Amino acid sequence: MKAIVCEDYGPIENLAYKDVDEPSPAGREVVIKAEAVGVNYPDGLLVQGLYQARPDLPFVPGMESAGTVVAVGPDVTRLKVGDRVVASMQLGAFAERVAVHEAAAMPLPDGFDAGVACALVCGYGTAHHALKQRAALKPGETLLVLGAAGATGLAAIQIGKTMGARVIAVASSAEKQALARAEGADEAIGYEDLRGDIKRLTDGAGVDVAFDPVGGEAFDALARSMAWNGRLLVIGFASATIPKLPVNLALVKGYSLVGVFWGAFTRKEPAVFADNMRELMGWAVDGSVRPHVSERAKLTDAADVLRRMHDRQTTGKIVLVP
């Protein structure tokens, strides 16, 4: 079968499209024939050797695959051949087929789009965990979302609105700000005068919850713009700059800095993760959230998609179609 393989840590462009052995299920594993494979920003960090984890080489990147179960291991009890599922994994999704533990695969409702299902895993999963478990977002609070036109940012907007928050979106262009508004943001602003705009839009009170996958100078502005009892969520560093926090700001403003590491959460709290996914799937079915799949590219285009994502030239969720 075909897969995208990282043979050496280095530029994204070095990823290889090549033949690899087909997976065979053991124990409680199932093999999924992919209809769609999700692409996420951390995938690009991983292959460059810039992520928290450094898998042994060579490896197949990718954290989301949705499709049909075509084989099951001898100890599988929950799934059968022919079931359509979406699966979360640490590695291996950028392939025509992937083997995963059955506990990592969630059955899909009849007719549910595979690309939308992929969007619900990492992007929506991260935003949901951040806002529900880490921030304990309350109805009526003000949520500010950086990187608001990206897959995770759009997820945070929709989930924040579903949870009853007032949402301020921050995006780098008028086009991206318009997309954020179309997806439910109450306000959409740029990065040029972030502190001033936050002060204006909150009447000087600051934001209750800040969702920051960007870092850099935008984090510095947020660190000075939090409300009393606020929660500043550290999601990632798309700016490529890891900021430093003057901790006296947290003291005098009475807010908390909260780390959000979704991958570790899924491994350390699998039961809570499963509950989250059931809630997200229900929200998607009833229309409370609407994952925005902006592009369906070929598996062979994985390196190009990741490069454009890291150059901040994409919006919404991109999936690969084997």
Could you read off the pLDDT tens digit of each residue along the chain, which spans 322 residues?
Answer: 999 999 999 999 999 999 999 999 999 999 999 999 999 999 999 999 988 789 999 999 999 999 999 999 999 999 999 999 999 999 999 999 999 999 999 999 999 999 999 999 999 999 999 999 999 999 999 999 999 999 899 999 999 999 999 999 999 999 999 999 999 999 999 999 999 999 999 999 999 999 999 999 999 999 999 999 999 999 999 888 999 999 999 999 999 999 999 989 998 998 999 999 999 999 999 999 999 899 999 999 999 999 999 998 998 899 999 9
Closest CA to 41 of 287, 239, 273: 239
104 & 214 share domain: no
104 & 133 share domain: no
Q: Decide: 165 and 140 in contact? Cβ < 8 Å.
A: yes
d(CA 260, CA 210): 12
Q: Decide: 57 and 110 in contact? Cβ < 8 Å.
A: no
- Tokens (6 digits) for 4: 């995208």
179 & 247 share domain: yes
Closest CA to 206 of 192, 194, 190, 191: 194
- Tokens (6 digits) for 39: 């692409």
The CATH number given to whatever domain includes residue 304 is 3.90.180.10
- Tokens (6 digits) for 53: 């984890």
- Tell me if 113 is assigned to some domain: no
Structural domain range at position 145: 125-263
pTM of the predicted protein model: 0.89
- Tell me if 281 is assigned to some domain: no
d(CA 60, CA 95): 8
d(CA 86, CA 104): 8
Number of domains in the chain: 2
- Tell me if 287 is assigned to some domain: no
- Tell me if 274 is assigned to some domain: no
210 & 181 share domain: yes
136 & 246 share domain: yes
d(CA 3, CA 23): 12
- Tell me if 277 is assigned to some domain: no
d(CA 85, CA 164): 30
- Tell me if 32 is assigned to some domain: yes
- Tell me if 116 is assigned to some domain: no
- Tokens (6 digits) for 178: 């318009």
Residues 6+ apart with CB under 8 A from 155: 119, 123, 124, 126, 127, 128, 289, 291
Cα torsion angle, 103, 128, 52, 172, sign: positive
- Tell me if 21 is assigned to some domain: yes
Q: Decide: 201 and 189 in contact? Cβ < 8 Å.
A: yes
